[in-house]
Amino acid sequence: MIDYNEKPILIFWETTKACGLACRHCRASAMENSLPDELTDEDAKLFINSITEFGKPYPVLILTGGDMMRRKNIDFIIEQAEEDGIPVSISPAATDLLTYDRIKYFQKHHVLSASLSLDGNKEMHDWLRGNGVYDKTMELIKLMNAMHMKLQINSVVMRKNIEQLPELLKNLIINNVKTWEVFFLIQTGRAIDSEDLTALEFEDINHWLLFAMNYGITIRTVESPIFRRIIDQGNNNYSGKLYYELVDKTIDLLGIPEKRNIPSRISNTRDGKGIIFVGYNGDVFPSGFVPYKLDNIKEKSIVSIYRNNETLKLLRDSSNFEGNCGICAWTDSCGGSRSRAYARYNDIFARDPACLYS
């Protein structure tokens, strides 16, 4: 059991802001070219070396962007991490830069897994990420499957694509995707106000995700820690209208699922507790969705920041949260999204407005 006061299990590193896509909701507000104050190779080497000071087992380093494929000298980073024994996963954009040869290279250097984004049908996905991106993504899913590259699909949930969730689930199951990470939009970067969901919609969709796990796919949520409350509560007494609409549509598409044993516990991480985010220039944040700068890795080591930063210490103790998030039965395992609290109330310790209980 990892003590989240001592080390995270995941370190997200925005290796570059550069990206060839221009997704409408981009967290990073990514751009065509990298910024001049991006971490240098020397900074990158020192940063990767410093992760070993957390001690084994080392956290997984997740290389994101922008598009990590456009980070100058990404191979240097991959190989440095390999030399130091740091496990790496990648989160590339679906572009022509991600080829058979590049995937082979990542496999040769022991990259654990890759994640790609898919947010709905072709029309929806291309509206969000640009023309042709859906076809490219599907091509890459098939290629990675054929190459036995461990793959995770990430999807953004927003009002515009709620109705498509059952269809998206079917697409993932047909394509043998085993892990689905469902991200609930936060109003940051280029995210769009009108796409935010009501607390009731959050509740319904999270209950539907619990139902969807009966089809044998592992589902994790991002910025929706209430999913842990809902796993605890189960679906037996739940009667939300949208939930039933989604369930009916799913059964129409996929049939009645077998009842599976869904794990009662998934890791209790949240922003700054078990996860940490390092920006393109070394600035450190509790997550990639909360623009609350804690420090910079060029000034202090990531280990010192993670263990000793006063805000992080307060964030790891849920009794510091306002409203029911500080006292409800799930305060420790859930605690609410700190990113959403900050986006809505400009207060990282505020209640999570997405929860009916908060």
Tokens read off for 138: 């599907």
In the chain, what are the helix, strand and coil shares in percent, each to the nearest 5? Answer: 40, 15, 45
- Tell me: does residue 355 bind ligand SF4 (CB under 6 A): yes
Asked whether 49 and 123 are in contact (CB, 8 A), the reply is: no
Please name which of 259, 243, 160 lies closest in space to residue 205, comparing C-alpha atoms.
Answer: 243
Tell me how far, at minimum, the Cβ of 274 lies from ligand SF4, in Å: 16
Binding-residue total with ligand SF4 (CB under 6 A)? 15
- Give the one residue of 30, 325, 348, 350 binding ligand SF4; rule: CB under 6 A: 325
- Tell me: does residue 68 bind ligand SF4 (CB under 6 A): no
Asked whether 118 and 151 are in contact (CB, 8 A), the reply is: no
Residue 85 preceded by cis peptide, ω within 30: no
- Give the one residue of 46, 189, 331, 344 binding ligand SF4; rule: CB under 6 A: 331
User: How far is the C-alpha of 150 from the C-alpha of 107, rounded, in Å?
Assistant: 10
User: How far is the C-alpha of 173 from the C-alpha of 216, rounded, in Å?
Assistant: 9
Asked whether 243 and 208 are in contact (CB, 8 A), the reply is: yes
Tell me how far, at minimum, the Cβ of 229 lies from ligand SF4, in Å: 4
- For strand 283-285 and strand 274-278, is the pairing parallel, antiparallel, or unpaired? antiparallel
Tell me how far, at minimum, the Cβ of 47 lies from ligand SF4, in Å: 33
User: How far is the C-alpha of 169 from the C-alpha of 18, rounded, in Å?
Assistant: 30
Q: Give the interface segment with ligand SF4, choosing from 64-72, 127-135, 260-268, 334-342 (CB under 6 A).
A: 334-342
- Tell me: does residue 324 bind ligand SF4 (CB under 6 A): yes
- Tell me: does residue 352 bind ligand SF4 (CB under 6 A): yes
User: How far is the C-alpha of 207 from the C-alpha of 201, rounded, in Å?
Assistant: 10
Tell me how far, at minimum, the Cβ of 4 lies from ligand SF4, in Å: 16
Q: Which is nearer to ligand SF4, 306 or 330 (CB)?
A: 330
Angle formed by the axes of helices 226-233 and 199-212, nearest 10°: 60
- Tell me: does residue 230 bind ligand SF4 (CB under 6 A): no
Build a one-symbol-per-residue string for 284-323: x at contacts with ligand SF4 by CB under 6 A, - elsewhere. ----------------------------------------
- Tell me: does residue 328 bind ligand SF4 (CB under 6 A): yes
- Give the one residue of 70, 229, 270, 273 binding ligand SF4; rule: CB under 6 A: 229
Q: Which is nearer to ligand SF4, 35 or 329 (CB)?
A: 329
- For strand 295-296 and strand 283-285, is the pairing parallel, antiparallel, or unpaired? antiparallel
Tell me how far, at minimum, the Cβ of 244 lies from ligand SF4, in Å: 22
For ligand SF4, the binding residues (CB under 6 A) are: 225-226, 229, 324-325, 328, 330-331, 334-336, 352, 355, 357-358
